[in-house]
Structure 1
Amino acid sequence: MSDHTAWLALAVSGKRHHGSNDGYDDLPSAHYSWDDTVPNSRAVAVGDIIAVWDRTVLLGVSVIEEITTSSATKRLHRCPTCQKSKIGERDSLTPRYKCYDCKATFDTPASRTIQVTTYRSRHDAAWIDLAGALSGDQLRALCLSPKSQLSLRPLNWTAFTHVLAHDTAAVLPERLLNATQDRLAGGHTHATVRVRIGQANFRRALLQSHGPVCTFTGPAPEAVLEAAHLYSYAEHATHDADGGMLLRRDIHRLFDLGQLAINPDTHTIDVGPPASCYDEYERLQSQPLHHPPTPGQAGWLTEHWHTHRAAPSESHSEHKRHVEEEA
Structure 2
Amino acid sequence: MSGFRAWSLIALPPDERQYGGNTGYNDDVERIYRYDSSVPNHKQLAQGDLIFVRDAARVIGMALIEKISVFPANKVRQRCPVCGQVSIKFRKSKSIPWRCTSGHEFDVPLAESIAVTGYEARYEQGFLRTPDAVPVEVLKQAALRPNDQLSIEEVDLGRIEDALLRKCPQTRSLIERFLQGIALDPLDADVWAERALPFIATMTDTREKVLRSIRVRRGQKSFRDKLIRRYGARCVASGCDLMDIIEAAHIDPFRGENDHHPENGLLLRADLHTLFDLNLMGIDPEELTLRFHPRIRDESYRRLEGRSLRFSGLALPASAPIKRRWDAYLLTLRRASCE
Give the letter aligned to residue 141 of structure 2: A
The alpha-carbon deviation at position 120 of structure 1 amounts to: 0.5
Q: CA separation in 2, counterparts of 1:125 and 1:54?
A: 21
User: Residue in 2 aligned with 1:314?
Assistant: none
Q: CA separation in 2, counterparts of 1:88 and 1:49?
A: 32
Check 1:12–1:159 CA distance in 2 against 1; reply closer, same or farther (3 A cut): same
Does residue 173 (structure 1) correspond to residue 171 (structure 2)? The answer is: yes
User: Residue in 2 aligned with 1:65?
Assistant: 66
User: Residue in 2 aligned with 1:97?
Assistant: 98
Maintained 8 Å contact 2:63/2:174: no
Q: CA separation in 2, counterparts of 1:13 and 1:181?
A: 32
Q: CA separation in 2, counterparts of 1:113 and 1:16?
A: 22
User: Residue in 2 aligned with 1:113?
Assistant: 113
The alpha-carbon deviation at position 93 of structure 1 amounts to: 2.7
Check 1:135–1:98 CA distance in 2 against 1; reply closer, same or farther (3 A cut): farther
Maintained 8 Å contact 1:16/1:24: no
User: Residue in 2 aligned with 1:40?
Assistant: 41
User: Residue in 2 aligned with 1:124?
Assistant: 124
- Larger strand proportion of the pair: 1
Check 1:75–1:179 CA distance in 2 against 1; reply closer, same or farther (3 A cut): same
Maintained 8 Å contact 1:15/1:25: no
Q: How many residues align?
A: 187
Give the letter aligned to residue 124 of structure 1: E
Structure whose alpha-carbon radius of gyration is higher: 2
Q: Percent identity?
A: 28
Q: Deviations 1:67-120 (Å, cap 9, x if unpaired)? A: 111111112111223322111222343322222x21322111123221111000
Maintained 8 Å contact 1:15/1:24: no
Q: Deviations 1:254-303 (Å, cap 9, x if unpaired)? A: xxxxxxxxxxxxxxxxxxxxxxxxxxxxxxxxxxxxxxxxxxxxxxxx97
Give the letter aligned to residue 44 of structure 1: L
Q: Secondary structure at the match of 2:143?
A: coil
Give the letter aligned to residue 33 of structure 2: Y
User: Residue in 2 aligned with 1:8?
Assistant: 8
User: Residue in 1 aligned with 2:78?
Assistant: 77
Check 1:64–1:184 CA distance in 2 against 1; reply closer, same or farther (3 A cut): farther
Check 1:71–1:86 CA distance in 2 against 1; reply closer, same or farther (3 A cut): same
Check 1:24–1:12 CA distance in 2 against 1; reply closer, same or farther (3 A cut): same
Q: CA separation in 1, counterparts of 2:179 and 2:145?
A: 25
Q: CA separation in 2, counterparts of 1:12 and 1:21?
A: 11
Q: CA separation in 1, counterparts of 2:126 and 2:181?
A: 11
Q: Secondary structure at the match of 2:168?
A: coil
Check 1:13–1:69 CA distance in 2 against 1; reply closer, same or farther (3 A cut): same
More off after superposition, 37-46 vs 131-140: 131-140
User: Residue in 1 aligned with 2:139?
Assistant: 139
| Structure 2, gaps ≥5 residues long | 184-318, 325-339
Maintained 8 Å contact 1:47/1:181: no
The alpha-carbon deviation at position 180 of structure 1 amounts to: 7.2
Check 1:135–1:106 CA distance in 2 against 1; reply closer, same or farther (3 A cut): farther
Q: Secondary structure at the match of 2:74?
A: strand
Maintained 8 Å contact 2:11/2:55: yes
Q: Deviations 1:191-218 (Å, cap 9, x if unpaired)? A: xxxxxxxxxxxxxxxxxxxxxxxxxxxx
User: Residue in 2 aligned with 1:27?
Assistant: 28
Maintained 8 Å contact 2:143/2:154: yes
Check 1:67–1:174 CA distance in 2 against 1; reply closer, same or farther (3 A cut): same
Maintained 8 Å contact 1:52/1:60: yes
Give the letter aligned to residue 175 of structure 1: S
Q: Secondary structure at the match of 2:26?
A: strand
Check 1:3–1:67 CA distance in 2 against 1; reply closer, same or farther (3 A cut): closer
The alpha-carbon deviation at position 141 of structure 1 amounts to: 0.9
Give the letter aligned to residue 80 of structure 2: C
Check 1:13–1:27 CA distance in 2 against 1; reply closer, same or farther (3 A cut): farther
Q: Deviations 1:165-194 (Å, cap 9, x if unpaired)? A: 35xx22243323544787999xxxxxxxxx
Q: CA separation in 2, counterparts of 1:123 and 1:132?
A: 20
Check 1:89–1:49 CA distance in 2 against 1; reply closer, same or farther (3 A cut): same
